[in-house]
Amino acid sequence: MYSRLLLLLIVHVFLLLIPISSIQVGSINDTILSAPLATIILVNESCDKCICLMLLASDVLGINCLRNQTCALFYNYSSTYRIDQSSNSSFHFLSLSQELEQSTYASTESSIMIPCNFTCQNNSTCSSQWSGAKCEIPICSPSCENLEVCVLPGVCQCKYGWSGSYYLSVKTVLWAFDNTLNDTSSQFMGTGRYPPTYASGIDGYGLALPLNGTRNQCVVVNSYLNMSYLSFTWQFWIFPRISMTGDTMFIGQCAQAIRDRCLIIMTRTSVMWFAFWDNDVNGTKSIYANKWSHMTFIYDYAANQKLIYLDGVFEDFQTSKGALEANSTFMTFGCRTTNGGSAYTNFFIGYIDQVLYNSRVKNASEVLDDTTLVIHFRFLSTAPLTDSGPNHINGSWDGGAVSTPSRIVDQAIDLTLNGSYFLVAGLVLLGTNYKPFSLSFWFQTILFNVNTAITHSLV
């Protein structure tokens, strides 16, 4: 554990060359300002560029410059914030609160010269991400909404004094494994080790990824998904073909086997296990072979907690020893490597499907819906056959069925003609033995007789 130095703050000054004047910027090396995510913006830029952005902005007080070429901008301070020692970050600021001045790690560093020269590119034309006389005004597309402002290219934040769960542009990444190892946006491309084939999936209409660990099959995603100092939620379905003894990997991002540098999502002796290496939380319920199970792993940066859910039911949580600090590295599905890919271990044998990543904390109601809500049809006139639930099991209709105003909520489906119908197929979980389910809907009868069926199911 690091000891806190209650000493006079030792600050070194950067002399920044900007067109209007020189401004003093404080710098403390090997430290990080620990604060809730609601005051942090992360962008993939150099440290010098981030310091320049702080000077050009009107309301940025300080930044964390992280070693993975990510910087975090702070727009206000709170008495609950603290400066901690970290070899992966340096903290730079224009001003400090009195509390931070009295409880800060001090270090030494030479003064440096940083040219803040925002010269327009392409013959005095700004790039597509910036505008303004000096190309200093960021552009957000789509535009920021509600009480958000565009603070960096493509990044929206709540105005000062406001907060909310969705103030950031949330990144959602889905690997559906429908005949491809890439995510649905083709940003995070997967490569198979001993390439696997595909089989029927949990949603009934798509496919799942079968992995044969005895043949060392797994998937490597080479594009870097930055989860450092961020909240996130991982969710997916698994169908183990054998009992999982020992450590069985599902998701890994691990360049170094060092605490907080290595993301591990796995089971250990058939129970859920969530770790940042030597920083673990585990479940209690066993996961059995030859049945589908839904797993959720959440890290809440603001609360510094890890949470795990099995089949939508809360299992356990842990106050984390620290945030994830994984360096830029690839991810693995169904195996683990800690040495740059020269060797792989802890293979999974079974099916994995619908691997979903969100760069935010999902609440318990959302997790339960993601696990138990099979279908939800709103019959909207613009998309009457689209499933609004998490599985995206779209329906079909025929015989003159149409969408019509419902007078209850959204639209309804009108089955006025003889032989008209609405059909949903591939409901895998509804065909599972000993698994309860409920079905609810609104209906209004125009003509009813003993041969009319409201619903009909073939199992």
247 and 346 housed in the same domain? yes
Which residues, in sequence order, are CB contacts of 378 under 8 Å at separation 6+?
388, 409, 410, 411
Structure tokens given for 426: 């591939």
- The verdict on residue 124 lying in a domain is no
* Long-range pairs for 442-445: beta carbons < 8 A, 24 or more residues apart: 442/406, 442/408, 442/412, 444/412
- Domain that residue 310 falls in: 172-372
154 and 97 housed in the same domain? no
Query: Quick one: pLDDT at residue 198?
Result: 92
Distance CA 358, CA 171 (A): 6
1 and 22 housed in the same domain? yes
Averaged pLDDT, groups of 10, the chain, 459 residues long: 30 36 73 66 64 73 77 77 81 80 54 52 60 71 58 63 43 90 89 89 85 94 86 95 94 86 94 90 94 95 92 93 81 87 89 93 92 86 81 82 74 81 80 76 70 46
Burial 63-89 (b: 16+ CB within 10 A, else e): bbbbebebbbbbbebeeebbbbebebb
303 and 426 housed in the same domain? no
pTM: 0.63
- Distances in whole angstroms, Cα of residue 124 to Cα of each of 52, 131, 139, 263, 415: 19, 11, 17, 44, 61
Query: Quick one: pLDDT at residue 431?
Result: 65
Q: Token pair 């940025």 is at which residue? A: 60
107 and 242 housed in the same domain? no
Query: Quick one: pLDDT at residue 127?
Result: 67
Q: Token pair 């689209």 is at which residue? A: 386
Total tally of structural domains belonging to the chain:
4
Query: Quick one: pLDDT at residue 439?
Result: 84
Q: Which of 6, 60, 7, 64 is nearest to 32 (CA)?
A: 64
- The verdict on residue 420 lying in a domain is yes
